[in-house]
Amino acid sequence: MLLKTAQAGTLESSDCLVVVSPADSHSLEYSGQNAAIFKRRTERIVAEIAKRCAPQGAAVQVQDRGALEATLRARVETAFERASKQEQQMSMRGGQ
Nearer to other proteins, 35 or 90 (CB): 90
Handedness of CA 39, 82, 54, 23 (dihedral sign): negative
To other proteins, the closest distance from the beta carbon of 83 in angstroms equals: 12
Nearer to other proteins, 27 or 71 (CB): 71
Q: Can you give the binding site for other proteins, defined by CB under 8 A?
A: 8-9, 12-15, 67-71, 73-75, 77-78, 81-82, 93-96
To other proteins, the closest distance from the beta carbon of 24 in angstroms equals: 27
To other proteins, the closest distance from the beta carbon of 41 in angstroms equals: 13
Nearer to other proteins, 9 or 59 (CB): 9
Distance CA 96, CA 81 (A): 9
Distance CA 79, CA 29 (A): 15
Burial (CB count <10 Å: 0-12, 13-18, 19+), residue 34: exposed
